[in-house]
Amino acid sequence: MDLLRFSTAGSVDDGKSTLIGRLLYDTKSIFEDQLEAVEDASTRRGEGYVNLALLTDGLRAEREQDITIDVAYRYFATPKRKFIIADTPGHIQYTRNMVTGASTAELAIILIDARNGVLTQSKRHGFISSLLGIPHILVAINKMDLVDWSEEAFDQIAAEYTEFAEKLGVDDLSFIPISALLGDNVVDSSENMPWYKGSTLLHYLEHVNVGAHRNLVDFRFPVQYVIRPDQDYRGYAGRISSGTIRPGEEIVVLPSRKSTTVASIETFDGALEEATAGDSVSITTTEELDISRGDMIVRPGNLPNADTEIDATICWTSDEPMQPNTQYWLRQTTRETKAFISQIVYKIDVDTLHRDEVSQFELNDIGRVHLTTASPIFFDRYAMNRETGSFILIDPHTQNTVAAGMIRSAVRSVEDLPAAEPETDIRPVSPDVVWEAWNIELAERERRNGHKAAVIWFTGLSGSGKSSIARELERRLWNAGTQTMLLDGDQVRHGLNGDLGFTPEDRTENIRRIGELSSLFFRQGAFVLCTFVSPFQADRERARELLPEGRFVEVFVDTPLEECEKRDVKGLYERARRGEIAHMTGISSPYEVPENPEIRLETVGRGLDEVVAELMVRLRDLGVTA
């Protein structure tokens, strides 16, 4: 039976605790003595009804004030699924508590009082949920009984919140009208809202896709402990953060970069033929290496980033304000190193999503910073791997956790980018024209299409396999009902870009036009697949910047030049080596390897079906496809 972790959030008195109490009560997940205690407390308070919120408001201060202050965890199960609920506070001063409770959730329930509509706190909690990478957001519009079960009130709130959520790049957004107090649409369908044809809240929780966003491709095993019971056994214990591993596979240990082979994978219950993300195991190796806590075991062809300069988003959780250039301990997976905040890039005004310049962070502030660590850490972007992309900062004197962070990437400066002519950095606009807003919004198109819009940008040398992979992927998506558009380099140069050659300047203009074109198809709600050599990093980044964050996926088809030349059915490489073709990428023109592509595909020795199958898994892990 699988497990769903979800959190609840909302403004004060929106009914979070009542909803959880109703779920526990209607699913018969509470003991008789618990119910009797709640009934007695409700009678003493003179409430006239059984206040199910008291099942979760466990602190005396919470019961006195009728609010949630700390995170309350509750557990229940149905015949279809197990659940762990984190009931998080609604008050702005308890933002850090919400971040803590939602950090491991796969789904967030945001409650909105139907009488009050979308409030600032409703938006705040949606923003934090998206920031934490929670793949599913369910907006439960509560207290429908107090607006006479109005369909119009429900539709108005759903439309307003959908418009706000478009700015956040939320993967999956759903709405359910409920009355937590009376139980309508919580476990049983409501007879008071016959206009609502969707599922109940419990049915949604039982059937929402669990685990689709777990990274099962990039193997990451942070070593937690070395097991050495005698001279004949040495095992490396820990919890697999992501990916899978089998005995006999080659591995590399970081930071030593020593390679070896997995001899066995063992648990308390015996040896495993395969271990996967979330499993706690002990790995033994064929060679004895110097491996200790804080090291990370990975595959040699699938390495994490390693850097001492980190670009991250953090939530400040300490009562004491941040002190830039003060030394903290940074703990990421099982690795711990000294670090300091070298730059505050901006603080996010969670109410407006504006970026503010500040000199320090205070309690519950959220923003972007640059960190410098004393030794390299091994990480993936948080959007790709929540386990290796997260960290905490610890005050070395008090041992208190002062911040929780999500890694965006390694720090990059302007000097790291390739030089470009000034005019190529400006998005051209014809004179005497005014921008017109889109007639039909993207969210409306996506709802009709039944899937998200995205741009999948395949880059790699000529002959790497980009077009073959993209064409097969498109066929599978199309067969599944996805609205697709494939843009191929040869096709666009037969018309739209037929006036361009292959000089560096023409290549930049070629990709600029394709970027704009793919953006238009994206706004139409399509799943756009672009297959272009696109040799320059800056050109690919400009195409990325035209889309919302998380909707541009760079796929680096990593095929060595010598292999590409073997596959050269058009004879282009041979002609280039004879000097008959100028500006041939890989021969007489450079190719800038993607620095941080969302997906890297190796094709040597692999069939098309295998590569496309991996790609589809990776796209699901990123939340781009269902």
On whether the CB atoms of residues 18 and 181 are closer than 8 A, the answer is: yes
- What is the phi/psi pair of residue 326, to 5°? -90, 140
pLDDT value at 264 more than 90: yes
pLDDT value at 170 more than 80: no
What integer pLDDT is reported at residue 557 of this predicted model? 94
pLDDT value at 48 more than 60: no
Query: Catalytic: 534?
Result: yes
Please write the tens of the pLDDT for every residue from 194-246: 999 999 999 999 998 876 667 778 899 999 999 988 888 899 999 999 999 99
What integer pLDDT is reported at residue 423 of this predicted model? 43
What integer pLDDT is reported at residue 46 of this predicted model? 60
| Six token digits for residue 396 | 């070395």
pLDDT-based confidence at residue 11 (cuts at 50, 70, 90): confident
d(CA 235, CA 225): 8
Catalytic entry in 518, 534, 588, 589: 534
pLDDT value at 371 more than 60: yes
Buried b (16+ CB within 10 A) or exposed e, 109-137: bbbbbbeeebbebbbbbbbbbbbbbbbbb
As a whole number, mean pLDDT of residues 505-522 equals: 91
pLDDT-based confidence at residue 52 (cuts at 50, 70, 90): low
Domains of the chain from N-terminus onward: 3-207 (3.40.50.300), 220-298 (2.40.30.10), 305-413 (2.40.30.10), 441-621 (3.40.50.300)
Residue in the structure block whose two tokens are 């005396």: 60
What integer pLDDT is reported at residue 91 of this predicted model? 56
What integer pLDDT is reported at residue 125 of this predicted model? 85
As a whole number, mean pLDDT of residues 423-430 equals: 55
Kindly report which listed range (20-34, 427-441, 475-489, 553-567) carries the lowest average pLDDT score: 427-441
d(CA 476, CA 472): 6
pLDDT value at 325 more than 80: no
To the nearest 10°, report the CA torsion of 130, 119, 84, 243: 0
pLDDT value at 39 more than 70: no
d(CA 504, CA 530): 19
What integer pLDDT is reported at residue 63 of this predicted model? 40
What integer pLDDT is reported at residue 51 of this predicted model? 62
What integer pLDDT is reported at residue 47 of this predicted model? 61
On the 0-12 / 13-18 / 19+ scale of CB atoms within 10 A, 170 is: buried
Tell me the pLDDT of the chain averaged across its residues: 85
